[in-house]
């Protein structure tokens, strides 16, 4: 085994699109979000150089390894697969082309190993998004086995990672099934309960409004809560307050009109149309952004949690989405929400429905949490096996720890 610098066995960023590239040159563009766990998800849409983002520059070929140079996305490392169309990667990647002395698969696994990742972290510079210069990667030292041993290690890791990735895929499929609330909500709302009456949402509320425009300039480190669209989760009706903003809200009618109270129901009217949340705890006593509709339930006519689940149900959501207007930014008007018709049972029945849905969702949340922990542990094992095999701690021939 000999020690070499990485640039002695790879060529970094050998090929790139330039201003001389024809405008009609077509390819598949891969950005940072399409790379995970050593795999590249190939986009379905073809792109031409003339209409591509300015970051679409790194041309790569099958057998190359792409490495994210931004530390935030450091796990975005993968071998470039073979495709019918050229693949072009974001300039946030470094493209490593293997020379004769290094096996392309071994190179990819080496770049996913702990020592390589630690080296990138140590050499990254910057505050907001620490990154490493692609040329700096070439100075990394590695102990390089013979080509025969490299291929044997790569064969072992190919088999091992396929098993791990298959298991992760099954767990992720379970997550998607558990996280889909549509079947649960359909069982309660698709067929109106007996003795229910269909009325518009505006007859169940005392206030329907949206947040004031232009309040971004009032954001401040301290102040009153400011609930934004990012606080309304796609799943469930509990607001996600981990990133709750605060504002120095000016006095006046706008502040009073959009003030939040416990039990208010919030509906997304721009992105993620129809996502719904109920105000509680720290979100109370603040204001909402212009991208949210604020509904104040009439407690004598409806239970806030029931109203939130009813609006989020597939039946109501279909009706809301059919009211959306197209263009570059989908959205709903307050009138669309106010005139949404719901089949309304008695208040006690609403309470029972809301409690039952909440109880079932709590169980699902616990299961999802357990699945997420399991996926994290499996992913950690994947990384540990790669590191052990590449560093020689694991004999790739016998799959036993080296003495």
pLDDT digits (tens, 9 = 90+) for 338-348: 999 999 999 99
Is residue 395 very low, low, confident or very high in pLDDT (cuts 50, 70, 90)?
confident
What average pLDDT does the structure give for the chain?
Answer: 88
pLDDT tens by residue, 262-299: 999 999 998 777 789 999 999 999 999 999 999 999 99
The terminus-to-terminus CA distance of the chain in angstroms comes to 17
Ranges 33-37, 250-254, 290-294: which has the least confidence: 33-37
pLDDT of residue 36: 79
Is residue 323 very low, low, confident or very high in pLDDT (cuts 50, 70, 90)?
low
More confident residue, 397 or 99: 99
Share of the chain above pLDDT 70, in %: 95
Alpha carbons 302 and 308: distance in angstroms, whole number: 10
Instruction: State the average pLDDT over residues 23-43.
Output: 87
Residue 341 and residue 138 in contact, taking contact as beta carbons nearer than 8 Å = no
Residue 295's contacts (CB-CB under 8 Å, 6 or more residues apart) are 201, 205, 207, 208, 264, 265, 266, 267, 307, 337
More confident residue, 70 or 138: 138
pTM exceeds 0.75: no
Pairing of strands 2-5, 10-12: unpaired
pLDDT of residue 330: 64
């Amino acid at each position: 085994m000999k020690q070499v610098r990485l640039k002695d066995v790879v060529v970094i960023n050998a090929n790139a699109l330039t201003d001389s590239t024809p405008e009609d040159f077509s390819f598949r563009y891969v950005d940072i979000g399409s790379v995970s766990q050593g795999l590249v998800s190939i986009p379905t849409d073809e792109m031409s150089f003339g209409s591509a983002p300015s970051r679409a520059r790194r041309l790569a070929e099958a057998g190359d390894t792409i490495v994210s140079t931004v530390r935030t996305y450091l796990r975005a490392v993968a071998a470039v697969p073979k495709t019918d169309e050229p693949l072009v990667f974001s300039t946030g990647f470094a493209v490593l082309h293997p020379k004769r002395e290094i096996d392309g698969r071994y190179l990819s696994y080496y770049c996913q190993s702990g020592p390589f990742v630690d080296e990138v972290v140590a050499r990254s510079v910057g505050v907001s998004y620490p990154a490493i210069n692609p040329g700096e990667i070439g100075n990394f030292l590695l102990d390089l086995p013979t080509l025969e041993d490299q291929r044997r290690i790569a064969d072992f890791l190919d088999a091992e990672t396929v098993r791990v990735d298959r298991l992760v895929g099954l767990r992720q499929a379970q997550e998607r099934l558990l996280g889909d609330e549509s079947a649960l909500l359909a069982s309660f709302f698709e067929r109106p309960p007996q003795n229910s009456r269909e009325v518009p949402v505006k007859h169940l509320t005392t206030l329907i409004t949206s947040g004031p425009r232009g309040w971004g300039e009032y954001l401040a480190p301290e102040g009153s809560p400011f609930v934004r669209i990012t606080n309304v989760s796609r799943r469930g009706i509990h607001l996600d307050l981990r990133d709750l903003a605060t504002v120095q809200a000016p006095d006046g009618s706008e502040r009073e009109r959009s003030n939040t109270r416990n039990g208010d129901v919030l509906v997304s009217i721009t992105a993620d149309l129809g996502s719904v949340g109920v105000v509680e705890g720290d979100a109370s006593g603040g204001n909402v952004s212009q991208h949210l509709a604020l509904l104040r339930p009439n407690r004598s006519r409806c239970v806030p949690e029931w109203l939130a689940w009813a609006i989020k149900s597939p039946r109501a959501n279909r009706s809301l989405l059919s009211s959306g207007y197209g263009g570059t930014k989908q959205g709903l008007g307050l009138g669309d929400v106010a005139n949404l018709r719901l089949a309304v049972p008695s208040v006690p029945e609403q309470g029972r429905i809301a409690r039952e849905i909440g109880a079932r969702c709590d169980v699902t949340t616990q299961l999802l949490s357990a699945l997420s922990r399991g996926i994290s542990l499996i992913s950690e094992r994947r990384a540990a096996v790669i590191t052990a095999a590449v560093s020689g701690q694991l004999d790739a021939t016998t799959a036993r720890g080296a003495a």
